[in-house]
Structure 1
Amino acid sequence: MPKTKKRKQPIVSAVASTSITAQTCRNTIRQYHFLLKQRRKLENAPDPQSSLEEIEHQLSNLGGLERYQELSTLGQREERGGGAEKIFIQWMKELNVHRRTEDSAKLRLLEVGALKPDNYHTCSSWIEWTPIDLHSRHPHIVEQDFLLMDADQHANKWDAISLSLVLNFVPLPLDRGRMLELAHKMLVSGGLLFLSLPLPCVANSRYLTFEHLKSLMLSIGFSEIRERWRQSGKMVYWLYKKITVSEIQPPSNFNKKVVLRQGHRNNFAIIST
């Protein structure tokens, strides 16, 4: 009986698959940013309707925010080094925030833009966290627009707030500033704000530098106590502490965009009132 030839299987390794997925994540996020930027420009155009429809069509084909969330969740898996919350937890431990007595209440943490409901489950003995997101993908994540939260109801309520990869998805520079100002109002005195952004938002912006951001945050009422990034890296992380009004230096003019660097740069900016 003649031997039956075995069908050849495609040569696909786990490493190659992971590499392709990582590249897909980066490409999708880049396209998403580009289309949102084009949409903002068209919204101010005299007759934007047909062009806006095309942008919306491309966003739909790309998968929109839902697809971005899926890829971002993938990027938080353990094989990719986990999420930014690990850095936040490490910094809080360095500050001995986790050393709470049996009688003391747990640290109240508001996690904005949460993609997973259990980012802080390993710290449940000392953290009581509330994850929120614009489009919740899990029943334990509250569907909530941070900018629409009642400022008076949440004033001085939270011990810590996480804004990890959040500001860069807020379309308007003024709303980015509003988000930081709202976080300041919602934190208790001495409360902690964790902020993370893609490195180019600060390192390659014509309207923002590390020093400018530090001064802007100080004018809002945040003192920088930690900063972490690498020259060849993709992300930058900060930890800020809410300071009292008497400690705040006289505010500079941050209510408009000012060109700080020339050349081929991006337009990421933050405007604070």
Structure 2
Amino acid sequence: MSSGSSKPRSKAKAKALKAGRPPFLSTTTSKPATAFNPERRSLSAKRTRSLIRTHHVLQKRLAQARAEKDAEQVRELEAQLAASGGLETYQLASTVGQSAERGGDSSRVLVDWLREELEARKPKRFRGHSFAFSASSSSSSNPSPANDEHGSSSTSVQVGGRGPPSPRPLRILEVGALSTTNALNIPLVTSVRRIDLRSSGPGIEEADFMTLPLPDSPDGKGEWHGERGYDVISLSLVLNYVPDAPGRGEMLRRTTMFFSRHHENRDDLEDGDADRDEDMQTEYETPEQTEDDGTRATITTIKHPRVRAHDGRNGPRPPGLLPCLFLVLPAPTLHNSRYLTPDHLTAILSSLGYINLQAKTTRKLHYSLWRYDPRRRKEWVGQGGKTVFHKKEINPGSGRNNFCIVLDDREKE
């Protein structure tokens, strides 16, 4: 930080969210971070963690310098980020760290939590068989007859030309996607749209979620594959990348605007479902499990009962899963922060209309699944729940981090 008291600080112009990520070292098209990239295999687990940690530290300092409008410090930190490899190296390290061979593919957790919804969308002849994930959504092994330019598919399938078509594929919006080869690729079952601020390869759109056209945009720009909205939104290690606390709150609020409207009139959500959801949750701890780096970790889980097939003869349908938000954060942002705890996060998301269905914490990460129901917000407000969350210390102690989410009471546009 510049220390000369007599030298006035020059002001840095406020930048959009995309500026939170540093530029690539060159303007040439980056190599996709796939298993065929030889650089990927050369990164050890220790080196991967070091690159990611250094990048986040520099990003935090850069956000602070921008907030203080210290242009000189901003330029210095941007130079350090570029010297460390910039976004290209960070994306490569993140992709390696989240790869299946390193045990870091968070999409496998999402697939497990959505298993019943996915099973219901499989053609009848395949039901009961284990899921076979496509190595690439644009792979020729994917039997889907319709692949779009981004490598994702969307189609309703009629098996053998008999009976009604199978349910349409589950529409998933993956924000901050680093790879097209994760567990979300299930032929005929899922249709995945992948976006990131800067694309790391084919199959990932270069787009900023905060400026992505809303599904209900009058000009139709928010449509994807001829439909509006999504069944699932994935924010895996994305929210922690937003450089400021108010921006994180706005990102969470904006997710509620991207869900498919056809879920609003489904008959499996009767009044009082939100209460049943909370009553049916149980919390327990599993024995210690081995992490990908050989360490041991105790996993704490809040588990929602599995959604089962329902024939309507035994009372109301059980609560559904859709539409839902899959959120993954570094564990310390919830368990070692002065300003955020799991309960505080639940309050923030409840005020937006979310209901917690699943949660799991490992030594490194916190995973959670949230169903969106606008009636939940009305119920929350009616019960006197908070809708404004300022930066306030709720978990004091030395050695804690300052990760925070700030949310105002602005209604959705």
**Fold conserved between structures, TM > 0.5:** yes
> What is the SS of the residue equivalent to 2:63?
helix
The CA deviation at 1:79 is: 2.1
Query: Could you say which structure has the higher helix fraction?
Result: 1
AA aligned opposite 2:64: K
TM-score relative to the length of structure 1: 0.86
Query: Could you say which structure has the higher strand fraction?
Result: 1
Which residue number in structure 2 is paired with residue 201 of structure 1? 333
1:54 to 76, 88, 93: 76
- Distance in 2 (alpha carbons) for counterparts of 1:118 and 1:176: 27
Note the 1:38-53 alignment, pairs <5 A: 38-45=61-68, 48-53=70-75
The CA deviation at 1:174 is: 1.2
> What is the SS of the residue equivalent to 2:195?
strand
The CA deviation at 1:121 is: 5.7
- Distance in 1 (alpha carbons) for counterparts of 2:67 and 2:247: 17
1:266 paired to 2:401: yes
Number of corresponding residues: 253
1:116 to 179, 190, 198: 179
Which residue number in structure 2 is paired with residue 137 of structure 1? 200
- Distance in 2 (alpha carbons) for counterparts of 1:51 and 1:104: 54
Note the 1:57-76 alignment, pairs <5 A: 57-76=79-98
1:223 paired to 2:246: no
Deviating more after overlay: 115-124 vs 256-265: 115-124
Structure 2 residue runs without a partner (length 5+):
1-40, 124-164, 264-321, 409-413
| Equivalent pair of 1:222/1:240 in contact (CA under 8 Å) | yes
- Distance in 1 (alpha carbons) for counterparts of 2:185 and 2:61: 41
The CA deviation at 1:35 is: 1.2
Which residue number in structure 2 is paired with residue 11 of structure 1? none
2:367 to 230, 234, 237: 237
Deviations along 1:165-210, whole A, 9 cap, x unmatched? 0001011111111111111121134401100010001001111001
AA aligned opposite 1:262: P
1:32 to 42, 55, 58: 55
- Distance in 2 (alpha carbons) for counterparts of 1:183 and 1:217: 11
| Equivalent pair of 2:185/2:192 in contact (CA under 8 Å) | no
The CA deviation at 1:76 is: 2.6
> What is the SS of the residue equivalent to 1:150?
coil
- Distance in 1 (alpha carbons) for counterparts of 2:243 and 2:81: 15
| Equivalent pair of 1:120/1:127 in contact (CA under 8 Å) | no
Q: Residues 62 and 116 from structure 1, CA distance in 2 versus in 1: closer, same or farther, beyond 3 angstroms?
A: same
Deviations along 1:101-154, whole A, 9 cap, x unmatched? 633211110011111123246412211111111110112110000011123334
Which residue number in structure 1 is paired with residue 25 of structure 2? none
Which residue number in structure 2 is paired with residue 22 of structure 1? 45
AA aligned opposite 2:245: P
Deviating more after overlay: 211-220 vs 155-164: 155-164
Deviations along 1:39-72, whole A, 9 cap, x unmatched? 12222336x2322221111111111221110001
Deviations along 1:225-249, whole A, 9 cap, x unmatched? 000113xx10010011011235641
Q: CA RMSD in A?
A: 2.2
The CA deviation at 1:253 is: 4.3
Q: Residues 96 and 53 from structure 1, CA distance in 2 versus in 1: closer, same or farther, beyond 3 angstroms?
A: closer
- Distance in 2 (alpha carbons) for counterparts of 1:161 and 1:20: 30
Which residue number in structure 1 is paired with residue 189 of structure 2? 126
Structure 1 residue runs without a partner (length 5+):
1-17
| Equivalent pair of 2:105/2:183 in contact (CA under 8 Å) | no
- Distance in 2 (alpha carbons) for counterparts of 1:38 and 1:149: 27
Q: Residues 248 and 172 from structure 1, CA distance in 2 versus in 1: closer, same or farther, beyond 3 angstroms?
A: farther
Note the 1:142-157 alignment, pairs <5 A: 142-151=205-214, 152-153=216-217, 154=222, 157=229
The CA deviation at 1:82 is: 4.4
Q: Residues 43 and 107 from structure 1, CA distance in 2 versus in 1: closer, same or farther, beyond 3 angstroms?
A: same
> What is the SS of the residue equivalent to 1:162?
strand
1:179 paired to 2:256: no
> What is the SS of the residue equivalent to 1:128?
strand
Identity among equivalent positions (%) equals: 35
The CA deviation at 1:78 is: 2.8
Q: Residues 19 and 65 from structure 1, CA distance in 2 versus in 1: closer, same or farther, beyond 3 angstroms?
A: closer
- Distance in 2 (alpha carbons) for counterparts of 1:19 and 1:114: 22
AA aligned opposite 2:250: R
- Distance in 1 (alpha carbons) for counterparts of 2:42 and 2:198: 28
| Equivalent pair of 1:147/1:179 in contact (CA under 8 Å) | yes
- Distance in 2 (alpha carbons) for counterparts of 1:129 and 1:19: 29
- Distance in 2 (alpha carbons) for counterparts of 1:150 and 1:242: 20
- Distance in 1 (alpha carbons) for counterparts of 2:92 and 2:187: 25
> What is the SS of the residue equivalent to 2:192?
strand
1:254 paired to 2:393: no
- Distance in 1 (alpha carbons) for counterparts of 2:184 and 2:249: 30
| Equivalent pair of 1:225/1:240 in contact (CA under 8 Å) | yes
